[in-house]
Amino acid sequence: MTLLEEIQLRLVRLPLEKQSEVLDFVSFLQERVVVTSTNSLGEERKKRIENAFLQLATLKTFADITNPVEWQKQIRA
In a structure prediction context, what are the per-residue pLDDT tens digits for the chain, which is 77 residues long?
A: 899 999 999 999 999 999 999 999 999 999 888 776 667 778 888 899 999 999 998 898 888 889 999 999 998 99
For the chain, how many structural domains are there in total?
1
pLDDT of residue 33: 81
Pick from 53, 56, 33: which is nearest to 45 by CA?
A: 53
Three-class HEC string of 22-73:
HHHHHHHHHHHHHHHHHHHHHHHHHHHHHHHHHHHHHCCCCCCCCCHHHHHH
pLDDT of residue 52: 93
pLDDT of residue 61: 86
As a whole number of angstroms, the distance between CA 20 and CA 17 comes to 5
pLDDT of residue 11: 94
As a whole number of angstroms, the distance between CA 73 and CA 32 comes to 45
Range of the domain at 8: 3-76
